[in-house]
Amino acid sequence: MLVRSLNDCEEFVARDGSLLRELLHPDKASLEIRYSLAHATVPPGQATRPHRLTTAEVYYVIKGTGEMFIDGDSEPVGPGCAVYIPPGAAQYIENIGVGDLTFLCIVDPAWQPENEEIIKV
């Protein structure tokens, strides 16, 4: 059995600028899963860098208020919202609230650095 506590996962700044803690990744724990699962935080007034993945991604918002941008469209998001991001879509999320914006990131197949492109604007 594998149980990972968020507090036991090292926090780092992801390439998109979010604060990330990787909970599950098949390459890191020899797990028989295709996806990766990370916990992300964006502080108030900040946004992630525009980027795209070659794989599908889902954000599940836990806390805070944000504006999600995908391929030029935008929608407000908050706790309980799930956002599907298709492969190849230009994306970023902005924290428009007063507290941290916290969400889970599920990438399938699992996130790999070579599958992410930071978009220069």
Please determine, for residue 68, whether its predicted confidence score (pLDDT) is greater than 80. yes
Give domain 13-118's CATH superfamily.
Answer: Jelly Rolls (2.60.120.10)
What six digits make up the tokens of 91? 């994306």
What ranges do the domains of the chain cover?
A: 13-118
CA angle 82, 86, 91 (to 5 degrees): 80
Whether the CB-CB separation of 95 and 44 falls below 8 Å is answered with yes
Whether the CB-CB separation of 59 and 105 falls below 8 Å is answered with yes
What six digits make up the tokens of 96? 């428009």
pLDDT digits (tens, 9 = 90+) for 104-119: 999 999 999 999 999 9
Mean predicted confidence (pLDDT) in 61-82: 98
Closest CA to 63 of 104, 23, 92: 104
CA angle 105, 108, 110 (to 5 degrees): 85
pLDDT digits (tens, 9 = 90+) for 4-36: 999 999 999 999 999 999 999 998 878 899 999
Share of the chain above pLDDT 70, in %: 100
Please determine, for residue 121, whether its predicted confidence score (pLDDT) is greater than 80. no
Ranges of H-type helices in 17-119? 26-29
pLDDT at 120: 86
DSSP secondary-structure letter at 17? S
pLDDT digits (tens, 9 = 90+) for 41-62: 999 999 999 999 999 999 999 9
